[in-house]
Structure 1
Amino acid sequence: MLGYHHIEEKDLVDHHQCRLGTWYREVKGNPSISSLPAFQQLEEPHCRFHDIVREIYQLVRAGRQQEAEAAFLSLEDISALVLQKLDDLANCIR
């Protein structure tokens, strides 16, 4: 968005392809973790995070900088929620 890095659309992964998504799928088969509310509440904001990243990418490519900046604020909020769910999950497991 700021022009520091060049990203191709093919470099944008979805919530299944990223490292968190890979881990999430692997742990989904472990009922001692997958039954925890924090784990169950993680998938939706994680998916939304990737949707917003793709939206920002498309807005920037279309030259719609103000809309991209507004979407970036949403990305910050959803990132905080994903991190909170991960913290909640870590606290449940300890």
Structure 2
Amino acid sequence: MESARQNHEIFVRRLQNEITEGSHQVRLEDLKDHHTCSLGHWYDSFGMKNFGALPEFVALSEPHREFHQTAKDLISAYSGGDQATTEKLLERVLALRDVIFQNLDALSAATQKSHQGPNL
């Protein structure tokens, strides 16, 4: 789970750098969705098979999907010069990141109670 957390944190920093510094390193067509990032791969395969019945696991799905969609919307708004929408969407990405991290922590705690690590 630490790997998923780090990957999403790095992604958020890249988004922030794109917005604040105009680094032009984040292209809309290169953004992954909630199925193709490392957490998504794990979620759709090993996670679903082993933890699909846990509410803590299920709780990850929607904020993770929304995180990736909002990131795409953010880059689109930024590329189109819509500063107000860009700022709102960046705030939303940060909030969703925090929700995902809280859900990962809850899942980790739930799996440790059952003595199964999440193997992520």
TM-score relative to the length of structure 1? 0.92
Q: How far 1:4 sits from its partner (Å)?
A: 2.8
- Aligned partners of 2:34 and 2:40 also within 8 Å: yes
For residues 92 and 29 of structure 1, the distance between their equivalents in structure 2, rounded to whole angstroms, comes to: 16
Aligned length: 92
Q: RMSD of aligned C-alpha atoms?
A: 1.0
Give the stretch that moved more between structures: 4-13 or 36-45.
4-13
How much identity, in percent, do the aligned residues show? 32
Larger helix percent: 2
Unaligned runs of 5+ in 1: none
Unaligned runs of 5+ in 2: 1-18, 113-120
For residues 82 and 92 of structure 2, the distance between their equivalents in structure 1, rounded to whole angstroms, comes to: 16
Give matches, 1:11-90, under 5 Å.
11-26=30-45, 27-30=47-50, 33-90=51-108
Instruction: Report runs of 4+ in structure 1 exceeding 4 Å deviation.
Output: none
TM-score relative to the length of structure 2? 0.73
Q: Match of 2:49, SS?
A: coil
Q: How far 1:10 sits from its partner (Å)?
A: 2.1
